[in-house]
């Protein structure tokens, strides 16, 4: 059942190249985007993305995609806030609910609040027979297979893939994306299984770094653009299973407070592919190094060459099209959490106080 792995989480991390290849075969067959016809973005003027936990961070990444590819205003919220805030809704909004289990109580309540009051409700779920899948107007399965580890891994990257294809469809429906860019993006998505496979080879070197990380009291994760929500996800994963206090920040927020935390004992994990905003992230990173923070830079060859000097450690990822970097960098984020927890000897698959499916508030 664990297929030779020590933990379900390790198995589920390693399954991601295959999971994404399956989801790609379904949603991006050779003939193009495969999304239901009734999922039509042409008359939508707003997208609302609602979820909890890791699924919420998948929504937070997708916001960048919907805004960039389709130029639709896009709002994200955690389900527990959204449902009790009872925000005004509009008939031309499309509401998307993301949930691995499809049973999360707050997400289900948020869906019920939106039903009848928005143009369409869409569920992005792993369990097709779940309440959220049944109650939404349209259900899109992420096709990740059963996820046993309490910390979500393969469901996260599969959610991202489905949301990425949706955002491309939204861009096409609205005439915001030309054929050339669309095909470049679909090619980039098709390259993900191979790239994630390469990223799996980082498991051993990351296990070595994790021995030092396991000693830390606090760990910060930094990211910019679509990598910002991935920094939040990296911190969540780490705290869930290693019980080390971790926080994610937008790199540009560092000087607005969290930099006060930096000293020699605080590892700062910078998730930064060599993208448009790389230089800005590097200057944030240098501010950390000037205060003797232990910087772990995860980047591509180019990024490491430009900015690797003076860092405590480096993780090299293959190059990837800028918008989709969070899908690839999810793997080292998960491996960092996993190996740190293993080094600490915590219960990786059944972390204390957590349940796989949160069906009560």
- In this chain, which of 13, 24, 47, 55 binds ligand F6R, going by CB under 6 A? 55
The CB-of-105 to ligand F6R minimum distance in angstroms stands at 9
157 binds ligand F6R (CB under 6 A): no
| Interacting residues with ligand F6R between 232 and 251 (CB under 6 A) | 236, 240
- Interacting residues with ligand F6R between 198 and 237 (CB under 6 A): 236
Least distance to ligand F6R, CB of residue 354, Å = 8
Q: Stretches 49-57, 273-281, 302-310, 325-333: which one binds ligand F6R (CB under 6 A)?
A: 49-57
* Residue 54 binds to ligand F6R (criterion: CB under 6 A): yes
State which of residues 16, 80, 93, 104 lies at the interface with ligand F6R (CB under 6 A): 104
| Minimum distance, C-beta of residue 229 to ligand F6R, in the bound complex (Å) | 13
Residue 299 makes contact with ligand F6R by CB under 6 A: no
**Which of 16, 80, 93, 101 is close enough to bind ligand F6R by CB under 6 A?**
101
Q: Which one, 60 or 295, has the nearer CB to ligand F6R?
A: 60
How many residues at the interface with ligand F6R, by CB under 6 A?
A: 15
Of 99 and 284, nearer to ligand F6R (C-beta) is 99
Residues in the chain: 361
- Strands, sheet with 46-51, edge to edge from the N-terminal-most edge strand: 74-78, 46-51, 93-99, 120-125, 138-141
| N-to-C CA span, the chain | 31
Residue 310 tokens read as 């003076």
User: Residue 42: is it exposed, middle or buried by C-beta count within 10 angstroms (0-12/13-18/19+)?
Assistant: exposed
Residue 356 appears among annotated catalytic residues: yes
Rounded Cα distance, 135 and 275, in Å: 40
- Does 100 contact ligand F6R by CB under 6 A? yes
Nearer to ligand F6R, 132 or 188 (CB): 132
Which segment (30-38, 46-54, 59-67, 213-221) binds ligand F6R by CB under 6 A? 46-54
Residue nearest to ligand F6R (CB): 53
Cβ nearer to ligand F6R, comparing 15 with 240? 240
348 binds ligand F6R (CB under 6 A): no
Q: Rule CB under 6 A: is residue 340 a binding residue for ligand F6R?
A: no
235/271 with CB nearer ligand F6R: 235
Angle at the Cα of 247 from the Cα atoms of 61 and 14, rounded to 5 degrees: 60
Shortest spacing between CB 107 and ligand F6R, in angstroms: 5
Q: Which of 93, 121, 131, 152 binds ligand F6R (CB under 6 A)?
A: 152
Contact 151, 240 (CB under 8 A): yes
151 counts as binding ligand F6R under rule CB under 6 A: yes
Nearer to ligand F6R, 151 or 335 (CB): 151
Closer residue to ligand F6R (CB): 52 or 342: 52
Positions marked catalytic: 356
Binding site for ligand F6R (CB under 6 A): 52-55, 99-101, 104, 107, 151-152, 236, 240, 357-358
């Amino acid at each position: 059942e664990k297929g030779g792995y020590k933990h379900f989480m390790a198995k589920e991390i390693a399954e991601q190249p295959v999971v994404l290849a399956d989801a790609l075969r379904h949603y991006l067959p050779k003939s193009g985007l495969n999304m239901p016809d009734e999922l039509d973005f042409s008359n939508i003027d707003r997208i609302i993305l609602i979820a909890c936990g890791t699924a919420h961070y998948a929504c937070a990444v997708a916001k960048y995609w919907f805004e960039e590819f389709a130029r639709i205003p896009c709002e994200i919220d955690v389900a527990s806030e959204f449902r009790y805030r009872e925000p005004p809704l509009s008939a031309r909004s499309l509401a998307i609910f993301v949930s691995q289990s499809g049973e999360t109580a707050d997400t289900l309540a948020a869906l019920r609040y939106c039903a009848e009051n928005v143009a369409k409700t869409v569920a992005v779920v792993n369990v097709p027979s779940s309440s959220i899948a049944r109650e939404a107007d349209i259900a899109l399965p992420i096709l990740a297979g059963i996820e046993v580890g309490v910390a979500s891994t393969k469901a996260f990257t599969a959610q991202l893939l489905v949301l990425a294809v949706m955002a491309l469809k939204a861009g096409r429906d609205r005439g915001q994306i030309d054929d050339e860019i669309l095909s470049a993006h679909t090619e980039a998505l098709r390259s993900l299984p191979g790239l994630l496979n390469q990223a799996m080879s980082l498991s051993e070197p990351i296990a070595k770094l994790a021995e030092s990380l396991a000693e830390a009291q606090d760990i910060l994760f930094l990211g910019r653009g679509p990598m910002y929500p991935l920094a939040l996800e990296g911190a969540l994963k780490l705290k869930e299973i290693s019980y080390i206090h971790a926080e994610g920040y937008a790199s540009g927020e560092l000087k607005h407070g969290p930099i006060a935390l930096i000293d020699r004992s605080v590892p700062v994990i910078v998730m930064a592919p060599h993208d448009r905003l790389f230089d800005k992230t590097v200057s944030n990173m240098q501010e950390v190094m000037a205060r003797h923070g232990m910087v772990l830079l995860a980047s591509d060859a180019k990024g490491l060459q430009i900015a690797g000097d003076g860092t405590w450690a480096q993780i090299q990822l293959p190059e990837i099209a800028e918008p989709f970097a969070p899908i690839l960098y999810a793997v080292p984020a998960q491996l960092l959490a996993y190996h740190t927890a293993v080094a600490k000897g915590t219960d990786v698959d059944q972390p204390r106080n957590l349940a796989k499916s949160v069906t009560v508030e």
